[in-house]
Amino acid sequence: MNYHLALSRDINFDQFEQEAKLGRCPRHIMVSIKKRLNAKVHSPIQQKISFADKLLSKLSSRPEHWALARKIADEVGENDVVFCTGEDIGVPVAVMCAKKSTRAKVVVYFHNIDRVKGKLTLKLFGLANKIDIFMACTSYQTKFLAHYLNLPESKIFLLLDQTDTQFFNPGKASQDKKRPTLVSVGLEKRDYRLLAQATFDLDVDVKISGFSNDASALKKTFPDVMPDNMSRKFYEWADLLQLYRDADIVVVSLVDNKYAAGVQVMMEGMACKRPVIISNTQGMVDYLKQSHALKVVEVGDAEGLRQAIVELLSNPEKAQAQAEAGYNVIQKQHTSEIYEELLVKRLSAL
């Protein structure tokens, strides 16, 4: 069996691997998967885009994804498995491969398909019969796919997310730290207005790394005027790691959503053995079951968030116990190595 990785965007695997070896960034899980399966990597760069690609992109994905899908379909057959890292590339690959008399097996990682356009795409292209494994990191998405497309259990694969514990790990706080620090990272589906409302008059520093390559800041994400104790800046990987280590609490304040927005920050904070407070969203249901390892607050509840913060800051022993429990959960369930083993096993079974 030959394996292929179809990427939603170009990733410099060699650079990622080199930087990770030097301890400058986390390992990229797809680098490990590529090496483990000896897979060929396909990315949507320098593809010749046709008029048909442009037309299809009106329905789903981008022209370059359809162009790449045509190229992949021409190269693969019944002895190949194509793993697609997102629905944006997965839908075109599934459609194009299905046109062949002997098609490759297609596995698609779905991030956020439970939307009007996503539903239309699933039915319009008849994807129930064109994709062999529908994968997601949250049961909200897998249950939706199973119900909406009437899929058998054998075609559904729930694989909970991971973090690189070789990079994100406990360490000493900065010596120049002057007062308790609350750390919040990320942009997608974040509610920093609520965090500001809950903390503006507390004697703490609220430090935000609210930038992302995958999401743009919404008007409602940040307060119109930042409180004096709140700051926002971009942190390089090494600085981000130190930011987590400086945190008395990692806060993941979210608006409700149906996918696992915030999961990476939650795991990175736990891997650094810091207590984590997180909003109770529909998409995070699989990750919030460990009540001893996390402090969960309701979406939009500023007073509840404030009370949770004050409680942990006022009870360092309780905060430490929660941090220890969270660290153990990550080590036992969510390391990159565990994720890699489960994914490789599932792909190999095809």
Given a cut of 90, whether residue 210 has pLDDT beyond it is no
Instruction: Give the pLDDT confidence score for residue 255 in this predicted structure.
Output: 95
Alpha-carbon dihedral 24, 25, 29, 34, rounded to 10 degrees: -40
193 and 289 belong to one structural domain = yes
Given a cut of 60, whether residue 165 has pLDDT beyond it is yes
Q: What percent of the chain is predicted at pLDDT more than 70?
A: 97
Given a cut of 90, whether residue 348 has pLDDT beyond it is yes
pLDDT band at 241 (very low <50, low <70, confident <90, very high): very high
203 and 302 belong to one structural domain = yes
Rounded to whole angstroms, the Cα distance separating 175 from 150 reads 57
DSSP-assigned letters across all residues of 279-328:
E--GGGGGGS--TTT-EEE-TT-HHHHHHHHHHHHH-HHHHHHHHHHHHH
- Tens of pLDDT, residue by residue over 126-152, are 999 999 999 999 999 999 999 999 999
> Span 61-78, mean pLDDT?
96
> Span 253-262, mean pLDDT?
95
149 and 14 belong to one structural domain = yes
Q: What is the mean pLDDT of the chain?
A: 95
CATH number at residue 342: 3.40.50.2000
Total of domains in the chain: 2
Residues 158, 121, 54, CA angle at the centre, nearest 5°? Answer: 125
249 and 310 belong to one structural domain = yes
Q: Which of 60, 90, 93 is nearest to 75 (CA)?
A: 93
**Which region among 42-51, 58-67, 325-334 has the lowest average model confidence (pLDDT)?**
42-51
> Span 207-220, mean pLDDT?
70
Q: What percent of the chain is predicted at pLDDT more than 90?
A: 93
Distances (CA, A) of 325 to 153, 261, 307, 322: 32, 22, 21, 5
> Span 331-336, mean pLDDT?
98
- Tens of pLDDT, residue by residue over 119-128, are 999 999 999 9
- Whether residue 169 lies inside any domain: the answer is no
Q: Is 80 exposed, middle or buried (0-12, 13-18, 19+ CB in 10 A)?
A: buried
Rounded to whole angstroms, the Cα distance separating 251 from 254 reads 9
> Span 40-55, mean pLDDT?
93
97 and 198 belong to one structural domain = no
- Whether residue 281 lies inside any domain: the answer is yes
User: Which residues, in sequence order, are bridge partners of residue 177?
Assistant: none
Instruction: Give the pLDDT confidence score for residue 220 in this predicted structure.
Output: 80
User: Which residues, in sequence order, are bridge partners of residue 207?
Assistant: 183, 231
319 and 339 belong to one structural domain = no
Residue-number span of the structural domain to which 81 is assigned: 2-162+335-348
- Whether residue 214 lies inside any domain: the answer is yes
